[in-house]
Chains A and B, each alone.
Chain A
Amino acid sequence: MDWARHLLIVPILLPLVTGAFLLLVDELRHTTKAMISLASTLLLLASDIALMRIADGVPPGAGAMSSAYAIADWPAPFAIVLVLDRLSALMLVLTSVLGLASLVFSMARWQRAGPHFHTLFQFLLMGLGGAFLTGDLFNLFVFFEVTLAASYALLLHGSGAFRVRSGLHYIAINLASSLLFLIGVSLIYGVAGTLNMADLALRLPGVPAENRMLLEAGAAILGVAFLVKAGMWPLCFWLPSAYLAAAAPVAAIFVLLTKVGFYVLLRLTLLIFGSEAGQLTGFGGIVLLWGGIATLIFATSGVLASQAMGRLAGYSVLTSSGTLLAAVGIGDATVVSGALFYLVSSSLSTAAFFMLIELVERAREPGADLLAVTMEAYGDEADPDKDAEEEVGVVMPGALAVLGVCFGCVALLLAGLPPLSGFVAKFAMLTGMLNLQGLGNPVEIPARIWLLVALVILSGLAALVAMMRTGIRIFWAPLEEIVPRVLVIEVAPIVTLLALCLFLTVGGGAMIRYTDAAARSLHEPASYIQGVLEPGASGAAVR
């Protein structure tokens, strides 16, 4: 299976080559560009699914659980490695699914709104793929920057004063946090003398006591850089405006950018500060837990207060970030497994929501959003009986009906109500939180966990209230406005993403088995370390 080893580099090379090649194609040949980009993303999806099957083929609990790919065949601690395990495979598949959906959506209109859309899009996919695969801290920085550079340009795609203004804030904040990233990485290198994550996990317990403070400072600064990306309160004020300003397909793929921050935090916390880190075990966990709780409170208030739908979706992204960060803070394997399920479900539903907003808003007059909440507060004075009779028997147009059903599904997903996967995800997480020692093994639950449980449920309620309010204003309004012109190619990605959520519910057992195995292997860093530093060896754990 020699080819299977080289498959590991495909998620980086394929988008890079496609993106570079697309630069050469004339900007006027939209169809050619779109077809090349689409074909490449389809190939990417196929190879990501193949990688997921490889990652899932390793039996949990036996020997090396990750497969490592040494670039240029230099041995591990001296050069950059790519590491595949269940977590990174899951993130890769999620990336290519969301990438494909937003690419198809963009082919209707958005790809023509500015130059080099497809090139930038492919580079974004490349950066995301690299960030999920790399096993080296500095290489992670490079892929972060590739992702961010592409995202700066994509955020500005379509231009306009509002986009440029929010883009300026977004770029400035991310440049500053990249500098924090560099400071953190170099502090860690200065103390530990390595940047390879597996090697770092081995060396940290042996760091002399007088250097521990420097190391902790480095890790904390590095953490702040990721928390800016993941949008933890109070580092998240840039997020809703940036997502509101982005074009719909761009906002849909941006949903993943916050998840990169979460992914790295999860990976590093459990690998470096996991069970074998001696006195450093659980470093930062309590900060993540309280930070997640604060983010949830902020996002829930934001969801309730939002007037524009784009802002509502932005705060929904924050809700999911807060929940995920708190779950990492608890660090328990069952909770992490539920959180991974939640990550997939919430990414799919918020991405679908961002695309849906664009279609729904075509039907609305500008400024309607601003009025919606104010009208509710001061009473709707437009006399209700005026033209009630004329409305009897008006047929709802097909496009609006489809959009309405999709909107309802998104509301169910965001609120976490059955029968869709949002419910299963929240149920899995709450089960873990309330049974910290496993089922049938009751222990006293600390107050902060009760607070988190209450907030997770309340945030769902808030999402339901906000979505119902918006839905009533849009879909149950008298039909005097223009019916939106919607293309099949625009509805298809949304329906597909929502169908995937339904599939997640039906196939929930298989999915939970996968995330359970992923969470368990994350909690056994020894096998990851062995997989990277001693490829080919199997059996007893290293050290």
Chain B
Amino acid sequence: MELTLALAIGVLTGSGVWLILRPRTYQLVIGLALLSYAVNLFIFSMGRLRVGAAPVLGADGAGNPADYADPVPQALVLTAIVIGFATTALLLVVLLAARGLTGSDHVDGRESH
């Protein structure tokens, strides 16, 4: 499981970095989205990987803390997803405005020859 997650984070990060270095605004948006998925998975993994452990205490109150998953990274991921979602939406608006104003989808607003 560690290997799968590490590979997933690695592939997402690699593709994301490659895409944000490309000249088209659409590639930039997708690249940033992939990177933020990778970062979200990474934050999640910082709470240590556990299978079958709940992050919320049961109705019978606190038992052994070792039986539970760390809830803090999960809360962090949730916040990061919301913020990432909002800023990506904003970036999309700017992207459309740039396309309309400059007539090009190059990140510099003009084609390089």
Contacts and interface: CB of A to CB of B under 8 A. Distances in A.
Contacts of B79: 138, 142
B30 interface: no
Contacts of B101: 159-161, 164
Interface residues of B, number: 32
A153 B73 contact: no
Counting chain A residues whose Cβ lies within 8 A of the other chain, the interface size class is 20 to 34
B78 to A, nearest CB: 11
Given A149-B86, A165-B98, A138 B39 contact: no
Chain A CB within 10 Å, residue with most, of B36, B86, B94, B98: B94
B46 A168 contact: no
Contact of B42 (A164, A165, A183): A183
Interface string B31-47: 01001100100110011
A179 B91 CA distance: 15
Contacts of B20: 172, 176
A194 to B, nearest CB: 9
Interface in B1-43: 20, 25, 28, 32, 35-36, 39, 42-43
Nearest to A180: B39
B98 A164 contact: yes
Interface in B60-113: 72-73, 76, 79-80, 83, 86-88, 90-91, 94-95, 97-98, 101-102, 107-109
Interface string A133-159: 000001000100100110011001001
A147 to B, nearest CB: 12
A168 B79 CA distance: 24
A152 B88 CA distance: 12
Contact of B108 (A165, A179, A187, A189): A165
At the interface, is chain B mostly helix, strand, loop or mixed? helix
Given A142-B83, A152-B90, A182-B39, A189 B72 contact: yes
A352 B85 CA distance: 36
Contact of A176 (B35, B43, B47): B35
A167 interface: yes
A175 B39 contact: no
A28 B83 CA distance: 30
B53 to A, nearest CB: 17
A159 B79 CA distance: 30
Interface string A171-187: 11001101100110111
A190 interface: yes
B90 A153 contact: yes
B38 to A, nearest CB: 8
Contacts of B91: 168, 171-172, 175
Contact of B98 (A148, A168, A176, A178): A168
Contact of B87 (A164, A175, A183, A185): A175
A164 B94 contact: yes
Contacts of B43: 182, 186
B32 A186 contact: no
Interface in A182-206: 182-183, 185-187, 189-190, 195
Contacts of A195: 72
Contacts of B108: 165
Contacts of A148: 87
Nearest to B48: A190
Given A153-B90, A172-B107, A179 B36 contact: yes
Contacts of B35: 176, 179
Contacts of B46: 186-187, 189-190
Contact of B107 (A153, A168, A176, A179): A168
A366 to B, nearest CB: 19
Interface string A483-515: 000000000000000000000000000000000
Contacts of B95: 168
A168 B73 contact: no
Nearest to B35: A179
A448 interface: no
Contacts of B80: 182
A136 to B, nearest CB: 11
A26 B7 CA distance: 52
Interface of B: 20, 25, 28, 32, 35-36, 39, 42-43, 46-48, 72-73, 76, 79-80, 83, 86-88, 90-91, 94-95, 97-98, 101-102, 107-109
